[in-house]
Amino acid sequence: MIHIPVLPKEVLKYLNPKTNENFIDCTIDGGGHSMAISEKILPNGKILGIDLDEELIRHLKFKIQNAKFKNNLILVNDSYINLKKIVEKYNFRPIGGILLDLGMSSWHLEKSGRGFSFLKDEPLEMRYDSKFKIQKSKFKNNLTAEEIINKWPKEEIEKILEEYGEERFTKRIAEKIIQKREIKPIKSTFQLADIIKEAVPQKYQHQKIHFATRTFQALRIAVNDELNNLKKTLPQIIEILPEGGRIVIISFHSLEDRIIKNFLKGQSKKEIKILTEKPIIATKEEIKINKRSRSAKLRAAIKI
């Protein structure tokens, strides 16, 4: 699966990149958004591209080795939670705008082998950091979905399924997990998907959204501490942007969007002007081409 960037026209509209301006892409992934931005900022504009996954950085380096903007792109294997430190380390200023696309990479689902998808039989890892096989990773995230499923108490599993997955059958799924793990450890995505299938009503198994989607989402968010990382990153974006600098944030579920909406609303009384009264969503045409875009919501602001 090729990673297609979501809302590309809208990202360019609200970031409004101009010749020789510098931008930060906090989750550069396959580089789709950054390539579009680079066309507008050449010859001297630069992009600071950050990604937690070393493998994605390596793939992107190979992909752009003959691109005309390869010398204008600074690639950093780190977490956007360290945004301020990264900007200081590379002395990356002035900054015209910052993009934060919170969508997970198609590569993680299709190629990583880390258990993000219930459609493939893989170990229940779910860590974005590519060093997940090493006992102590560079980013000190040693928690896995397998550990949550097999070692956490039922109440904690219920809590994450309810809070992060907004799952209707939280108690039934958690109870079934506890029951099954007492017989044998739950180690694979197929094992977990089968357990969820047993736990939920038959009618629920034939909904538009796959019955395992919310549980897998909740586990991924918990493993990578995604919501807390977002809360810690948003103030850094405001702090490092100069007056006139633009912010574009794309989220993919209501929990993220709520955090972003409330943060921007709070800052609008002090340091920013919100450019999107309501979140921007994909057109029907884009959704036909890229199904991932159907849940995307874009919010934008400018530092004043």
Residue 114 in this model has a pLDDT that exceeds 90: no
- Residue 176 in contact with residue 199, Cβ under 8 Å? yes
State residue 270's pLDDT score. Answer: 87
User: What is the third-level CATH fold of 142-224?
Assistant: DNA polymerase; domain 1 (1.10.150)
Q: What is the CA radius of gyration of the chain?
A: 20
- Report pLDDT for 4: 81
Residue 139 has a pLDDT of 46
* Mean pLDDT (the chain, rounded): 92
**Nearest CA-CA partner of 213 in 256, 150, 168, 175:** 168
- Torsion angle of alpha carbons 117, 121, 126, 127, nearest 10°? -120
Q: 106 pLDDT exceeds 90?
A: no
pLDDT score recorded for residue 131: 56
Which residue has better confidence, 69 or 96? 96
Instruction: Say if CB 240 and CB 95 are below 8 A apart.
Output: yes
For position 74, what pLDDT does the model report?
96
Please give the average per-residue pLDDT across 184-194, as a whole number. 97
Query: Would you list the domain boundaries of the chain?
Result: 8-107+227-303, 142-224
Examine the pLDDT at 13 and tell me if it is beyond 50: yes
* Mean pLDDT value across residues 273-295: 94
Per-residue pLDDT, averaged over 77-81, amounts to 95
**Token pair in block for residue 73:** 């792109």
Predicted confidence band of residue 55 (pLDDT cuts 50, 70, 90): confident
Question: Residue 195's pLDDT is what?
Answer: 98
| Pair 254, 166: CB distance under 8 Å | yes
140 exposed, middle or buried (CB, 10 Å; 0-12, 13-18, 19+)?
Answer: exposed
Q: How confident is the model at residue 109 (pLDDT cuts 50, 70, 90)?
A: confident
Of residues 68 and 16, the one with the higher pLDDT is 16
**Residue that wins the pLDDT comparison between 15 and 292:** 15
Highest CATH level, class, for 8-107+227-303: alpha beta
Report the C-alpha gap between 181 and 187 in whole angstroms.
10
pLDDT of residue 299: 98
Per-residue pLDDT, averaged over 57-81, amounts to: 90
* Model pLDDT for residues 194-220, shown as the tens digit of each residue: 999 999 999 888 888 899 999 999 999
**Residue 181: its pLDDT value, please?**
97
Local confidence band at 249 (pLDDT 50, 70, 90 cut-offs): very high
Say if residue 43 is preceded by a cis peptide, omega within 30 of 0.
Answer: yes
